[in-house]
Amino acid sequence: MILIQRMLSDTPLRPVEEQVELLVERRLFLKRRWRGVAADGTEFGFDLESRLRHGGVIHQTESTEYIVRQQPELVYQLRPGSLEEAALMGWKIGNLHLGVQVVDTLIRITHDVAVLQLFEREGWAYEEIEVVFNPLRVTAHAS
């Protein structure tokens, strides 16, 4: 097993043919200590100084780069029609205290039954899509 303490690079430098993927669930990106197995069977142990990022290089050999990638996950996606509607959606979704990602003119939110109930109650049109989900990082009561 190879022990990883930090990413070597934010982005790969080698061509795709020389990359091996370690595909992991989003929640592992939040953990400091965990284990994983790359696509070629190489085992890794993680005791991290800081968080990993999707697409980062975690290990290199003479011929290969090992890249950590986040698994796509099912989320809901909204397309607000106006700034006012976006603000209202943000406020009501925020009251659920679930992960939210804002991408251009889209709002993505964790796939959860409470969210679905909110959308149906409000009559909001939504899509279910599978993407690499990166919710906003916020800290309650931050100064």
Tokens 């690079």, residue located:
9
Which pLDDT value is given to residue 140?
A: 52
Three-point CA angle 120, 122, 125, nearest 5°: 65
Distance CA 50, CA 58 (A): 12
Nearest CA to 58 out of 86, 87, 80, 37 is that of 37
CATH topology of domain 2-70: HSP40/DNAj peptide-binding domain (2.60.260)
Topology agreement, domain 2-70 and domain 73-131: no
Q: Where are the domains of the chain?
A: 2-70, 73-131
Query: Which residues of the chain register pLDDT less than 50?
Result: 139, 141-143
CATH superfamily, domain 73-131, is UreE, C-terminal domain (3.30.70.790)
pTM value is 0.80
Nearest CA to 36 out of 73, 65, 4 is that of 4
Which pLDDT value is given to residue 142?
A: 42
